A and B are shown apart, each in its own frame.
Chain A
Amino acid sequence: MTDFSDSIHSHQLVSADADAIDALIDAGFDLSRVPEALRVRAGHAASVMGLMDGTAPQTSQTLIDVTMARLARIANPIADFDAVLSGEDAEALDAYVAADYRLAKVPSSLRARAEQIDRMGQLLTAGHESTNALLVERTLRAVTTTRRHQEPLPTRSTGFRFADLISVAAVLLMGVAVAWPVMSTAKSYANKADCATNLAGIASAMGRYTTDFRDQLPMAAASFGGSWLNVGTTPDRSNSANLYTLARTGYTGLDTLACRGNPMAAHGECEPGSTDWKSLPKVSYSYYIMFGDERPTPVSNPQTVILTDRSPLPMRLVNGEQVSFPGENSPNHGGQGQFGLRADGSAVWMTTPQMGEDNLWLNGQQERYWNDFQARLPEYRRLAPKGADGLIIRIPMHGDELPESADNTFVGP
């Protein structure tokens, strides 16, 4: 087996290989989608790295190895750049930042050094004062002409007889409440108790809804247009609108759909004519994503989770970040974990969104990507160069992913 650690330091990817690898990643590791000019290189680079294990390269293997090569490239520069501030300079920098970047507020003993730091800042923040009027116009035009993509999907009935199991919901939830460990803070306990009560209410509402609507789980509109992430735009564009249906149609109230751990949660009455929460921060619970070829065919597995405390990933996406850690817990309970409501009406408290192979926040393809990476983490840690800040992976996520099967848990937003 190749000694990978040596190759990190001595081998540099030529830029054409690097471009080819990037194209491969962008193409979702499907060689046929890589631009032709780069395809041979991409295939070659992929196989070279896949041979690390002596096995034939497979998509997921390649994916990980390419990520590893990139990590080596990213991590190494830090190790190489071992310029270190002298102790007094470090102190001066801390003092300068603490002084709101104002020299006058820095203690006099550190001021000479802080002045150097200040001057460096002036060098860095200066630059061409070219006002580009065209740029403003182009930007405005891009913004005002942004339209969302419409793609209607046919509705289907879930077929799952939710109503059959609702009678056990309350009992099971109470069982969960009794089984909680002692909470460290009263507030955390109160929030969780509140949530459990909410889930009992939601389960009950779902049961009544499915009874009235021929076993369909709550759903808003017949068509789906683009991203399930776009809360508050129009009902056929968000998954939260599907959950909101329970409140809009009077099966439950907004307060039951509001978690105390979400300071922005909406309360009170539904505004007349409203079909969704106004914005993403107002949504407290993430719901079974209702779209796709396989859904909403019957949820055959009553253990499938259909509702959870809100996923932490959507806020990252709307901030333009990529997803690096789907093991993150819901923000509703201080990151300690999240409740899940199962199709059979039972509730469970999970300290991680990862339930075996199934990750609450990811669809099947993303899960495989993530699981493969996790499995090889010890190996990466061993091989990572010293001084590497951490191992990061970027999971492609745009808010328009669809679940791969009816029973794979995938909730959002």
Chain B
Amino acid sequence: MDQESDEVLFERYRGGDRGAFRTIIERHQPELLRFLTRLVGDQAGAEDVFQEAFLQVHLSADTFDATRRFRPWLFTIAANKARDYLRRKGRRRTLELSAPVDRGGEGGDAGSFIDLMEVRVPSPSDALDRDETNRQVQKALDELPLILREILLLAYFQRISYAQISDELGIPLGTVKSRLHAAVAAFAKKWKVIDEQQRPKP
């Protein structure tokens, strides 16, 4: 059962095999939970959304087109549920985003261009405190507006093309491109600030 594809497992589930659904949940749990934790901002919320997403998968099981791939569908549903959750609960975070960005002390240029080569991005082999790094990443993410955060995470977690993102989010291809560019830039900018803040000054 472990070697079978998601699509095959799902088909079994639709045929009444409950165990197949368990396998699907277990298989996707680590990654989907990480995705949702990044998107929603906290583990507890992510777990709630995780359940809601699979519940929706169950409710919509009959409508799933067997020729599609399961995983993008799962992520689409999860992102939609996360959006709803944040609308219901995450009001405070959105409010903070309404405040104007502090543009001081960063080269000072409004409409700032980001040069990725000037951002220090640790590689996984860097011996950094993992937990600390994770917290910083989350902090940077939390300060992004939801629609940028969402597209950034959907792209990186699923490693899908612009066309596929366009399908999932239901937005035009051109918008996908500009939005993902903006998301990468915004995250890089945030990360740069956070990274510089915690580096010892010479």
Contacts and interface: CB of A to CB of B under 8 A. Distances in A.
A127 B117 CA distance: 24
Contacts of A334: none
Interface string A325-359: 00000000000000000000000000000000000
Interface string B20-48: 01100110011101110110000100010
Interface string B110-152: 1111111101011110000010011001000100111110001
Nearest to B168: A319
Contact of B121 (A76, A94, A120, A231): A120
A122 interface: yes
A156 interface: no
A122 B51 contact: no
A146 interface: yes
Best-surrounded residue of A77, A86, A126, A321 (most CB of chain B within 10 A): A77
30 contacts: A73-B94, A73-B95, A74-B146, A80-B97, A81-B182, A82-B112, A83-B188, A83-B189, A85-B114, A93-B180, A94-B177, A100-B159, A119-B121, A120-B121, A120-B184, A120-B187, A122-B124, A123-B121, A123-B137, A125-B156, A126-B34, A128-B37, A128-B134, A129-B30, A132-B33, A135-B51, A143-B58, A231-B62, A264-B65, A320-B76
Given A116-B117, A132-B33, A139-B54, A127 B91 contact: no
Interface in A13-29: 13, 15, 18-19, 22, 26
A58 interface: no
B25 A124 contact: no
A185 interface: no
A184 interface: no
B188 to A, nearest CB: 7
Contact of A83 (B26, B112, B130): B112
A280 B155 CA distance: 29
A84 B182 contact: yes
Contact of B63 (A76, A132, A280): A280
A56 interface: no
B30 A131 contact: yes
Contacts of A74: 94, 145-147
Contacts of A132: 29, 33, 47
B145 A97 contact: no
A94 to B, nearest CB: 7
B88 interface: yes
A320 B77 contact: yes
A146 B55 contact: yes
Interface of B: 18, 21-22, 25-26, 29-31, 33-35, 37-38, 43, 47, 50-51, 53-56, 58-60, 62-63, 65, 73, 76-77, 80-81, 84, 87-88, 91-92, 94-95, 97-101, 110-117, 119, 121-124, 130, 133-134, 137, 141, 144-148, 152-153, 155-157, 159, 161-162, 170, 175, 177, 179-182, 184-189, 191
A307 B153 CA distance: 41
Given A86-B114, A97-B155, A120-B191, A233 B62 contact: yes
A121 B116 CA distance: 13
Contacts of B137: 123-124, 126
B184 A117 contact: yes
A38 to B, nearest CB: 12
A97 B158 CA distance: 11
B116 A117 contact: yes
B65 A320 contact: no
A112 B34 CA distance: 27
Contacts of A92: 116
Contacts of A83: 112, 114, 182, 185-186, 188-189
A126 B65 CA distance: 31
Given A125-B157, A143-B55, A85 B38 contact: no
Given A84-B111, A126-B134, A140 B184 contact: no
B81 A320 contact: yes
A22 B147 contact: no
A81 B77 contact: no
Given A15-B91, A89-B114, A131 B156 contact: no
A280 B65 CA distance: 10
A142 interface: yes
Contact of B122 (A26, A76, A119, A389): A119
